[in-house]
Amino acid sequence: MPATPLTKIVSVKFTVFAVFTALAIFTVSGCAYQTTSQVGESDPQIVTSANDSRDYHYFSLPNQLRVLVISDPTTDKAAASLDVNVGSGSNPASRPGLAHFLEHMLFLGTEKYPTAGEYQAFISEHGGSHNAFTSLEHTNYFFDIDPDFLAPMLDRFAQFFTAPLFNAEYVEREKHAVDSEYQSKRKSDGHRQRDVLKATTNPMHPFSKFYVGSLETLEDRPDASVRDALLAFYDEYYSASRMTLVVVGQAPVAELEQLVREKFSAIPDSKPALAPADAPLFTPGTLPLWVNVEPVKEMRNLVLQFPIPDVQPHYLAKPTGYLGNLLGHEGRGSLLSELKTRGLAEGLSAGLGTAGDGFAMFRIGISLTEAGNAKLDEIIALTFAAIERVADQGITDWRFDEQARLSMLAFEFQEKGGAMHYATRLAGALHDYPYRDVLRAPYAMDHYQPELLREYLAHLNPQNLLATHVAMDLETDQVSPRFDANYSAVKIPDSRIAQWTGNAQAANLHLPDRNPFIPEDLASLDAGMDVEAIPAKIITKPGFELWHKVDASFNTPRANFYFAIRSPIANDTPAHAVLAGLMVRGINEQLNEFSYPARLAGLDYQLYKHLRGVTVRISGYHDKQDILLDKLTGVIRQGEVDADKFALHKAELIRSLKNQSQDTPSSQAWNKLSSLLISPSWDDTALLEAAASISVADLRAYIPQFLEKIEIVTLANGNLSVQQALAMASKLEQVFLADATPQKVARALVAKLDPQARLLYQFDVDHSDSSIVSYFQGNDRSIPTRALFSLANQLIKTPFYHQLRTQQQLGYIVQSAAMPILEAPALGFIIQSPNSSGGELDTHINNFISQFITQLQDMPKDEFERNRQALIIRLTEQDKQLSQRSSRYWHEIDRSNFAFDTRQQLVAAVRAIDKQEFGKLLNEYLVKDRLRHLTIIAQGQLHPSAPDQLGDYREFKDIRVLQEAGRYF
């Protein structure tokens, strides 16, 4: 349940109205929209896209709770989200973190359902999931579940807001969970930089408040217990009039409305909407301000932020979106292009940054090269020159119309996401927008208002600047109050500002031309085609295969065209692994200016390295994919390497590898597990050693060697005909296979652990927390074994979390997971703890497993069956988007399952599991014989190693031990 920094919220009140549904069509900027017409006092209409078949109904309860119910008969998950217009900005001055603490406490029992953990168990047993988050101005609670169980789930959910217990026992325990969350983030650069930002803003503004909470801020005091503060905060702020609710289900909207009225009408309503802050974000006279921040990881960033008026009232004009598009453009002649040409920057982003009710900031973020880190004034001068160029030439109706057209195409052809994510987003949006526009508001650009654009642009001036420089070894003289970041803050003198205005050599800067990638052919192939069909292999040649499927089931003119170039020298040595990574960086660099307009127009690509080579994923509107493919293949084949760019990319790679030692202990432990088990794979030490000696000549020699012996595998899925797929595949053959030798490239292997020994790998981390990954591996890769471990996790995950996190308070990160690595089945337990050593965590895990196996014997048959069905629901969850389906097909092709039926096989195997045999096998794997068990411990600074706590493990230090043992799946 993370505490997040900020979400913009504006309250809008609406009237109650009766509803029936009718359809109407109207057009905006050339795009068709569908409206759900609802007859009532004000005849409201909710605008939907033409591609949206769901039914929407908005209403208010007598207690002023605003509700949107969504009927989707095709959804395989029901979901709900309740958003409270209260967050960390409302924390009492004496209780920082109280709003976030309250969010935690609502999950720990209500009067009707008093057992802590019952809520989570009910969701888990019915194929669902849940979470919550707290931001500056709201707190959001959400879940999804098997649609057949929406009614009883809503009954449990509604009790959060009518009759929570705030049990004293759990108040005391959950303080430690919040503190663990806080401690786990103490070395996060994102949180540390946000802490510095808060320290520089007006202390009277809500944004300045601490948002997570800690044992110190939540401690009981002689005259005030934290439980009393919780009760007072809940009574003060949790009012129905400050809440919005979104429910998604299969039932008609009338039934969903009745369900909501039954469950949520009891929420009390006693408070008016919260007023915006009356204090300015920055104390007058603070700006312009220069801030230095020393990071934990090695990084170099320059962030330029400008306070601007609230943007929410102008959501139909999108002033910051328009300006951010021009200033953040990455094409030829852009600010980023010029900075890269001068060797000063690696990346740039621009647009709306921190924002809330009544305030906002425009943000320009620049990731710096080493040279750029020493030329900040030159970079800032160029930035202001780019802003001036926008003011002089950039406010034009055709540019606005082009952005509006692309945005509305995205709205018209949007695909469904998961029901829970959708409900969560819309619950927050109901605070932001009139409900008629709640679906289209993020996309709408209805009004071209040049004077409004100039008004916002005028705020991007040096006198209104907060400049933040993040880099190692900067001069600092202060420490941020909550995350201990070293920083300094000084007023920017006029003499320095004078260097930024009118002096930049900016002749190469120009605004983007008209976008040539805007799709013109938006026709969809026959929607009546067999959506149940699987991809067919339509080309089979030595070194080349093409899989194809027309998929019109998502009713959009989009397609995915994936191809992998597999090479035996992609990952066979640490040096080759590094060279392949540098090759990918160089190709992406060469393609960026060309492909950026395509990305804006809804046509994108990904090029990434993997264990067998590189993969390119082209996705988006099918129109003009062939143009992008031509450019991609040409750049890859030419293999050009610029010496200056090579030096930058090598430095980036080395920095990235070094920074992994500053990841969270749990992330480091998980990454270590993968490098230990997969062969060939290389740890950071080996890769750093190889990278240090690699030269530009090495890369120039490597690229043709990489392409000398290859195999290419291709998938075309979506709105591409056989003829179109064959034409694109022919391009690949011509470019890559004419001069190459076809060669099969084997998949990587997974080490099969020794069944006679429990293995231990320990390492120290630069963090106060310790972490453990306890990994139990199956004895084969068969479908029945994979099903067994998946069902084991389904049964274990909720009690494991409840006992070790809620009851024992070992840490914020506590979870079990099925851990199939390249289809080698396994069950893993992960904990990151601020208060226990790795050895102590190992003892807790082993004790839990022993107790669970004993309890499993007495588990009622119906409970076992509920969990079996919950797992089946997860395994059969339908694809929500074309890219999700294409990715599933792509993984099946990679594992050579050309029946594309792994999910069906797993479901059949889960159905076949016998409870008694299941308990016996699980006991053998986890307790009795501890077959194939590996424990990885990342030992934190507060927990020195204690070997006597680790029992009969066989410890090893060399990462190559498992790979050299010669036992593989």
CA 201 to chain centre: 28
Instruction: Supply angle C-alpha 77, 82, 88, rounded to 5.
Output: 135
Q: Residue 19: its pLDDT value, please?
A: 27
DSSP 86: -
How far is CA 770 from its chain centroid? 24
Q: Is 591 helix (H, G, I), strand (E, B) or coil?
A: helix
Q: Provide the pLDDT for residue 3.
A: 53
Residues in contact with 942: Cβ distance below 8 Å, sequence separation at least 6, in sequence order: 768, 769, 770, 834
Q: Is the dihedral of CA 328, 330, 332, 337 positive or negative?
A: positive
Residue 580 to residue 335: CA distance in whole angstroms:
29
Specify whether the CB–CB gap between 938 and 666 falls below 8 A.
Answer: yes
Letter string b/e over residues 73-110, b meaning 16 or more CB atoms within 10 A of that residue's CB: eebbbbbbbbbbbbbbbbbeeebbbbbbbbbbbbbbbb
Q: Decide: 719 and 527 in contact? Cβ < 8 Å.
A: no
Tell me if 560 sits within 8 A of 717, measured CB to CB.
Answer: yes
Angle 102-103-106 from CA coordinates, rounded to 5°: 80
Q: How far apart are CA 101 and CA 211, in angstroms?
A: 10
Please, what is the Cα angle at 494 between 488 and 495, to 5 degrees? 95
Strands 536-541 and 770-777, how do they pair? unpaired
CB neighbour list of residue 348: distance below 8 Å, 6 or more residues apart = 328, 330, 335, 336, 339, 364, 365, 366, 367
pLDDT (0 to 100) of residue 949: 62
| CA 78 – CA 127 distance, rounded (Å) | 10
Tokens of 964: 């050299």
Task: Identify whether the C-beta of residue 829 lies closer than 8 Å to the C-beta of residue 845.
Answer: yes
In this predicted structure, what is the pLDDT of residue 50?
87
Those residues with Cβ within 8 angstroms of residue 392's Cβ, 6 or more apart along the chain or in another chain: none
**Bridge-partner residues for 82, per DSSP?**
141, 245
Beta bridge pairs of residue 774: 829, 935
- Residues 896 and 432 sit within 8 Å (Cβ to Cβ): no
Name the E strands within 719-863. Answer: 741-742, 749-750, 758-764, 770-777, 813-818, 826-833
Phi and psi, residue 853, nearest 5°: -60, -40
DSSP letter at 4 equals P
Distances (CA, A) of 518 to 124, 554, 557: 44, 21, 13
CB burial readout 531-568, b (16+ within 10 A) else e: eeeebeebeeeebbbbbbbbbbbbebbbbbbbbbbbbb
**What CA–CA distances, in Å, run from 570 to 579, 652, 681, 699?**
8, 20, 11, 13
Cα–Cα dist 448/455, whole Å: 13
**Structural contact between residues 826 and 934, judged by C-beta atoms closer than 8 angstroms:** no
DSSP letter assigned to residue 164: B
pLDDT in tens, 494-549: 999 999 987 778 889 999 999 999 999 999 887 556 656 899 999 999 999 999 99
The answer to whether the Cα torsion of 423, 429, 433, 437 is positive or negative is negative
d(CA 727, CA 458): 50
CB atoms within 10 A of CB 469: 18
User: Per this entry, what is the length of the chain?
Assistant: 969
Matching residue, tokens 């039954």: 262
Question: In 3D, which of 620, 623, 142 has the Cα closest to residue 414?
Answer: 620
225 by Cβ neighbours in 10 Å (0-12 / 13-18 / 19+) ranks as middle
CA distance 633 to 113: 60
Q: Could you identify the residue written with the tokens 């930024």?
A: 500
Closest CA to 357 of 313, 413, 305: 313
Other residues' Cβ atoms within 10 Å of the Cβ of residue 474: 16
Contact 387, 43 (CB under 8 A): no
DSSP code per residue over 921-960: HHHIIIIIS-TTEEEEEEE-TTS---GGGSTTEEE---TT
Three-state DSSP at 788 gives helix
Distance CA 531, CA 752 (A): 39
CA dihedral 113, 115, 118, 120 (to 10 degrees): 110
List of the chain residues with pLDDT < 70:
1-44, 527-532, 945-949, 951
**Number of helical H runs and strand E runs in the chain:** 28, 31
- Return all residues near 73 (Cβ < 8 A) that are at least 6 apart: 250
List active site positions.
103
Cα gap 385→506, rounded to integer Å:
7
pLDDT attached to residue 961 = 82
Under DSSP, the state recorded for 782 is -
Q: Residue 311 and residue 88: Cα distance in Å, rounded?
A: 21
CA–CA distance, 79 with 142 (Å, rounded to integer): 7
Which residue type, as a one-letter code, is found at position 853? Answer: I
User: Locate tokens 């170039």: which residue?
Assistant: 565
pLDDT in the model for residue 26: 27
Structure tokens at 815: 């979870």
What is the amino acid identity at position 749? Answer: L
Which tokens hold the place of 854?
A: 């004993």
- First-last CA distance in the chain: 37
Q: Diameter of the chain by CA atoms?
A: 82
In the prediction, which pLDDT does 272 show? 85
Token pair of 64 as six digits: 């002023």
DSSP letters along 524-552, please?
PP-TTS-TT---EEEEEETTEEEEEEE--
How many Cβ atoms are within 10 Å of 879's Cβ, its own excluded? 17
In this prediction, residue 25 carries a pLDDT of: 26
The pLDDT value recorded for residue 20 is 25
